[in-house]
Structure 1
Amino acid sequence: MNLFLRKIKIILLLAIILNASAVVIHGVSAYRSVDAFRSSMIGLGRTIIHSFESGNRVFRVYSQHSMESMRIFLQDLSRQESIRNFIIFDRNGKVLLSLGTIDQAYLMVNQNREELVVETEDLFYFYKPFNPIVPLVSPSRESDNIWRMHPRFHFEGDVPVQELTILLVLDKSNLNVLKHKQLFNMFQMIAVQIILLITFYYSIKLIKLYQISQERLRRAEKDAELGSFSNILAHEIRNPLSAMSGLIRFAIKKTPDGQVQEVLENALNETGRLNKIVEDFMAYGKDIPLETKSVNPAELAQRAAQIVYYDMQSKNITLQTHFANVVSDRQIDPEKLLQVLVNLLLNSIQGSPEGAPIELRVTEREILIINQIPEGTQIDKNKIFEPFYTTKSQGSGLGLAISKKIIEQHGFTLGVHSVNPFSIAICFEPQERS
């Protein structure tokens, strides 16, 4: 199942990468297409002006052949939908030839009479200096027919011998349509990418939730089996163990030999240790009922510190406490949480080198215990809460497993932040957020 889930994540990730690549490629292609179309329109405008200048020099060659060429050129020009206007005007802004109306402000743009292209949102304006060589008088009837042969052309007055400017206005509608089409396609691909990212995010979240639920189910089944086994084993061991303890105590009282008494007392201590392991077995195998009430976690931490005070003194360990100014009351079983805190502090004391300090921090969010560990100690962070896992020479390895069970029944979490220094925390956030 894990392999299947991993394949799903890889497929989704590949889809995102491929679509992102497609978005980038399409974006570059769209930019180049629009830029090429724009360049072609600029080239078209310059070609039209060049054709007017070189192919039909009406102001230079005044012949019947030129008239006919001019007539054909202007007829073709008037039929071009992309041409909004074709204007010849002098340096004072007086219009000599126009295909339509024009904003006078655009006639004064090119005061230096340079070849210039001005682009607005909807139009291209091409300015080109035009210098007629042959002086002309007012247009004859034939030439007048040239300017007036199409209702879109207007000719005003005489054509003086002076510096003139050609202004060609091209419509950018086709370029804008192409831009909008490319942008629409780009937005579609970006939308697909966003959908893929959202799908990937929630798929990963659902996969993690599924894995967490499967892990909890597996652990619950394991705990149930282990609990059943522990109960059976504990009941089978506890009775003979109690009998052994009673017999050893009786023998100690009846034996005057001090050396024999010392041996018997060591045996009694070992039976006591075995009895503690049996109790841990039974505690782990049972459901732990909670009797919750509103309690301040900081007060429980202070009580736990007082309980382990003499244990710290035996190893010359100091407890450095850090309590937040405000710690809210929470719904807690005080006896069970105190049991957990004492167990965690005792583990820290037993796992710390001689004289090393221990930190106890209590905040609004968590209770944190930090202690140093001896050099060379290896702690497996992933196994530390598993039953029977321990790095100590004595102990059942059930203390942290039982503590985690109690904490999770409260709806909190118990986790290890680091192993060197060893840092363990009770987090008051809900389990689903951990």
Structure 2
Amino acid sequence: MIHSLPRRSTRTKRPQRHCEFSVSLPLEIEFLILDEFVDDTVRLRRFCRICRAWGAHAQSLLFRDVCVRYRTAAPFLALLNTGDVGRYISALSVIEVSHWQRGYDQPILLDMIAPLVTKTMPNVRTLHISYRSFVRLAQLPPASHWGGISRLQLRFCKFADSDTLVAFIASFPRLESLDVFQCCTQDVRLGAKPAPLRSPIVMPGWHLKYLALGEFPQNALLDWMVAALTEITVAHLRILSLGPDASSFNALLAKIGGSLRELEVPGMHRWVLGPEVPLSICPCVALTTLTFSERSAYDLGRGIISVLAQFAAPSLATVAFQIHLNTGFLDIPWEDVGGALSTDAFRGLEAVAFSMWGGPFEGALLTPYDEAVLLMAERLPRLAARGLLRFSYAEDTTRTVYVPPAQEEEPLRESLRTRISRSVSGWLTRPRRTAVYAIEL
């Protein structure tokens, strides 16, 4: 009977500890933490297995910018058809193979992906196309595929004629950024003027924040923008290449000069012989930033003096120079540049910035960048005295130098340590006073 009675367990139960400080973070803060791993694809894939919220945010970071090549096209299309990752894609890069590498049985990637942009990738806003060959005008994708694209970049693309080039770019009605680099047309030879378009093509009413064009072979595109009756505004214009005859860009600047805020001017090249027409920036009366990019030091030096001599924009705040650290930049007449920037036409100038890169091997005492900073401060004494010089090195973003203004009228203020030591030394060297005590007897 005693054995049938329930026995009390001899094991002691551990008291359960409740953490009073374990508070879950809001999802917004957790997502900010996940954003720090945007370049770590391995960890982002692991985060997809934590929970559904983390998985959705990690996928948005993984598929934000997608690059599609021929060897990755099949798995990418299969992923779009089976999953919902297409809604996370905001930037799409399509890199076609070169025409001498493409086989006869290889399809064109852009033709395969274009119909899926509006269906499975509705949030794509940036489109990069490289090495695409547009053979005929009838082969262009319809404009209905590109209704949501706001940024277009073309690299090393080939078009059958000027009409095909203009018609393809005109099929993007909501562009805010257009960048065309080294895109050729088969009907225009080097140095020849493009023929007029066979059929009129209406230009959309673009309000571009950024426009990057070269003189050749984009002359047909420039002429189309100038001749179009549609109003167009550009906030930032970057001229990629400029020949002796700058009449095409002069006509474009006459049309968009009132809205232009930033302008990048390269050095003039001379690979085409012909009459020389300098660049005219007189219509650009609202500029705030003017940048000179180097192609060759000699041509850049002539272009700087020519542009600064005709400048009349009271709102200009920054003049920037992008130069390569070689012996050529020493030949630029920097004394004349400093004299032009010290005139009353640039009285509202706030900064003269130098962005440098490259250079020979570093010496034992001074690096090429440090040597260039000292040299430019010596050759531009007026700008250095006003404290306008800024220097930055592209290969090391932490090496930014600011030259303070020279203080000639007011003497430099002594440091606190110097003033304290001078006061102490004066107190120790002062004459001692003797005390006289009268003793009364």
Q: What band does the TM-score fall into relative to the shorter chain?
A: under 0.3
- Superposition TM-score, scaled by structure 1 size: 0.18
Q: Which has the larger radius of gyration?
A: 1
- Superposition TM-score, scaled by structure 2 size: 0.18
